[in-house]
């Protein structure tokens, strides 16, 4: 039961082959027995109460694909009842008085919350090793990282602890962990998914999205997750769309842009081989490959690591020991309270970003760093628009390597930043991007570790991306594989 897709579970619930309560119990038991450290908090009583309510809705004959289906939320979405920690000591005991819009949307759709998922502190990281609650293990190989920052989300789906999860992506945090854990994830166009109640990291980049077993399931989740929200000032006003509408589209004649910058030095040969095989699969389905160039790809790392910390330094100023969460137990006066609270409450990576952010925004450096980065950000977005005059969709790797060993880069921030090379520019441009499983590599060990294929679409082309991904998943079985012992 636990390895079934969301679509299958939805069918079983509708046909009354299983109740929402039984289903929730199956996953709660698995979560309890798991050693992946994918969850930061579970509240079985709350989960079962939601399941009971879902069963009542099903019994009353209410229509809805998601009623009674379990989901778990990245611990960056504030959730009434459960703790909302953002993976930080700063919020380790914080309980929000309200739900994030996304949490609310899924609750209204009848989904049952299984709990909160571990993540890098304030979503800063690429390996989920920056969490106050400890690292998450990759279900394919427990000595490997799951990716980050939505590492708990991807590991929970891959480890069959939840059939679906929410994630957030600021520079790759849905796509990269989905790739490293062999599951499917989509980061929609910036503004599609409400940021209200999503604990802010870098507001001009943060975007929520779903992680599930396949594209079909992600489409069902996006149907509930998107829409205009007046509580989010950057929410986009567009009619609600049916993201499942283009799943049956034909690949014949599809022009796939293959950026040469995504296949340069730094790309591991095992990942490259899997990506080429996936592209060949698309050719067999009738697509053609077009060589394209995204010349500013390399600049996306310095640009992102100026802009994201700048916004983070501003967003995180609210954690001052007064308004939320942690306060240092001993201090002499108000400034000392701020200083000690923030020194004790934030982890190293968060402090590093606050320092960088405050520096690049400071008088005399603003023009040289922040403004310059914003200009290059615009050029990066223009490169994509140029590319989309030659192709319908862009494809390449999500990450340069398969999952690396836990601990191997934990003290090397730069090595983590470099691993974001293929995901950052999509985020900087605000475009939708997706990761689907397309094979396995071995890394530097003789272990099977998943590889993800990245699909990048033009603005608001989520439905098209999901359709292109679905066609691949009809032709291949990578997305149906599960780690041993699951």
Which is closer to ligand GLN, CB of 13 or CB of 456?
Answer: 456
Residue with tokens 């009809």: 474
CA distances from 79 to 197, 198, 371 (A): 8, 10, 36
Which is closer to ligand GLN, CB of 171 or CB of 345?
Answer: 171
Shortest distance, position 158 Cβ to ligand GLN, whole Å = 18
Phi, psi of 339 (to 5 degrees): -60, -50
How far apart, in whole angstroms, are the C-alpha atoms of residue 462 and residue 10?
22
Which is closer to ligand GLN, CB of 123 or CB of 380?
Answer: 123
Shortest distance, position 184 Cβ to ligand GLN, whole Å = 17
Which is closer to ligand GLN, CB of 105 or CB of 207?
Answer: 207
Shortest distance, position 179 Cβ to ligand GLN, whole Å = 13
How far apart, in whole angstroms, are the C-alpha atoms of residue 63 and residue 151?
33
| DSSP-derived 3-state class of residue 352 | helix
Which residue has the CB atom at the shortest distance from ligand GLN? 173
What is the torsion angle, in degrees rounded to the nearest 10, for the CA atoms of residue 410, residue 413, residue 414 and residue 420? 80
Shortest distance, position 435 Cβ to ligand GLN, whole Å = 12
Please name the residues in contact with 342: beta carbons below 8 A apart, sequence gap of 6 or more: 319, 320, 321
Which is closer to ligand GLN, CB of 127 or CB of 463?
Answer: 127
Which is closer to ligand GLN, CB of 126 or CB of 244?
Answer: 126
Q: Is 110 left (phi over 0), alpha (psi -120 to 50) or beta?
A: left
Burial 327-343 (b: 16+ CB within 10 A, else e): bbeeeeeeeebbebbbe
Shortest distance, position 201 Cβ to ligand GLN, whole Å = 6
How far apart, in whole angstroms, are the C-alpha atoms of residue 304 and residue 420?
10
Nearest to 186 by CA among 407, 476, 470: 470
Q: What are the tokens at 416?
A: 């983590």
Shortest distance, position 402 Cβ to ligand GLN, whole Å = 16
Shortest distance, position 355 Cβ to ligand GLN, whole Å = 15
Q: What are the tokens at 258?
A: 């293959």
Shortest distance, position 173 Cβ to ligand GLN, whole Å = 3
* Long-range CB pairs of 24-33, under 8 A, 24+ apart, other chains included: 24/48, 24/50, 24/51, 24/70, 24/112, 24/114, 25/51, 26/1, 26/2, 27/2, 27/70, 27/114, 27/161, 27/162, 27/163, 28/114, 30/2, 30/160, 30/161, 31/114, 31/115, 31/161, 31/162
Shortest distance, position 170 Cβ to ligand GLN, whole Å = 4
C-beta separation of 119 from 176 below 8 A: no
How far apart, in whole angstroms, are the C-alpha atoms of residue 390 and residue 376?
22
Which is closer to ligand GLN, CB of 104 or CB of 169?
Answer: 169
| DSSP-derived 3-state class of residue 427 | helix
Residues that bind ligand GLN (CB under 6 A): 123-126, 149, 169-173, 201, 308, 420
Beta bridge partners of 453: 397, 436
Other Cβ atoms less than 10 A from the Cβ of 31: the count is: 21
Please state whether beta strands 112-117 and 433-441 pair in parallel, antiparallel, or not at all (unpaired): unpaired
Which is closer to ligand GLN, CB of 80 or CB of 352?
Answer: 352
Hey, which residues are catalytic here?
A: 74, 149, 173
Which is closer to ligand GLN, CB of 96 or CB of 126?
Answer: 126
> What stretch of H or E contains 290?
strand 288-292
């Amino acid at each position: 039961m636990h390895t079934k897709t969301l679509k299958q579970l939805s069918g079983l619930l509708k046909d009354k082959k299983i109740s929402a309560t039984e289903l929730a119990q199956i996953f709660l038991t698995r979560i309890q027995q798991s050693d992946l450290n994918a969850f930061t908090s579970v509240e079985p009583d709350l989960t079962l109460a939601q399941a009971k309510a879902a069963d009542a809705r099903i019994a009353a004959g209410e229509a809805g694909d998601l009623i009674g289906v379990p989901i778990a939320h990245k611990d960056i979405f504030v959730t009434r009842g459960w703790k909302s920690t953002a993976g930080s000591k700063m919020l380790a005991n914080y309980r929000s008085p309200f739900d994030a819009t996304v949490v609310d949307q899924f609750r209204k759709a009848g989904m049952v919350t299984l709990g909160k998922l571990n993540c890098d502190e304030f979503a800063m990281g690429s390996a989920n090793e920056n969490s106050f609650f400890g690292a998450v293990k990759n279900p394919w190989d427990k000595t490997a990282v799951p990716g980050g920052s939505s590492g708990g989300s991807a590991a929970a789906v891959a480890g069959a602890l939840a059939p679906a999860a929410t994630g957030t992506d600021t520079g790759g945090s849905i796509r990269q962990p989905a790739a490293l854990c062999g599951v499917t994830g989509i980061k929609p166009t910036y503004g599609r998914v409400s940021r209200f109640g999503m604990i802010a990291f870098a507001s001009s980049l943060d975007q929520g999205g779903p992680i599930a077993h396949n594209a079909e399931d992600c489409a069902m989740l996006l149907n509930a997750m998107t829409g205009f929200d007046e509580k989010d000032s950057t929410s986009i006003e567009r009619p609600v769309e049916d993201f499942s509408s283009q799943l049956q589209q034909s690949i014949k004649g599809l022009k796939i842009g293959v950026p040469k910058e995504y296949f340069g030095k730094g790309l591991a040969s095992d990942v490259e081989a899997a990506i080429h095989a996936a592209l060949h699969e698309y050719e067999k389905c009738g697509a053609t490959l077009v060589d394209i160039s995204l010349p500013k790809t390399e600049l996306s790392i310095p640009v992102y690591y100026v802009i994201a910390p700048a916004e983070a330094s501003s967003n995180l100023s609210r954690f001052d020991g007064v308004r939320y969460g942690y306060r240092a137990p001993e201090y002499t006066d108000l400034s000392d309270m701020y200083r000690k609270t923030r020194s004790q409450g934030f982890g190293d990576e968060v402090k590093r970003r606050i320092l960088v952010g405050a520096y690049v925004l400071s008088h005399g450096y603003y023009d040289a760093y922040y403004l310059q980065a914003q200009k290059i950000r615009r050029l990066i977005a223009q490169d994509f628009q140029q590319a989309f005059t030659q192709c319908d969709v862009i494809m390449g790797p999500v990450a340069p390597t398969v999952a690396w060993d836990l601990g191997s880069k934990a003290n090397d921030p730069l090595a983590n930043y470099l691993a974001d090379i293929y995901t950052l520019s999509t985020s900087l441009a605000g475009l939708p991007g997706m990761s689907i499983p397309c094979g396995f590599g071995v890394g530097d060990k003789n272990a099977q570790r998943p590889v993800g294929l990245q699909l990048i679409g033009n603005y608001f082309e989520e439905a098209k991306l999901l359709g292109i991904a679905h066609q691949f998943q009809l032709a291949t079985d990578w997305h149906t594989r599960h780690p041993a012992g699951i």
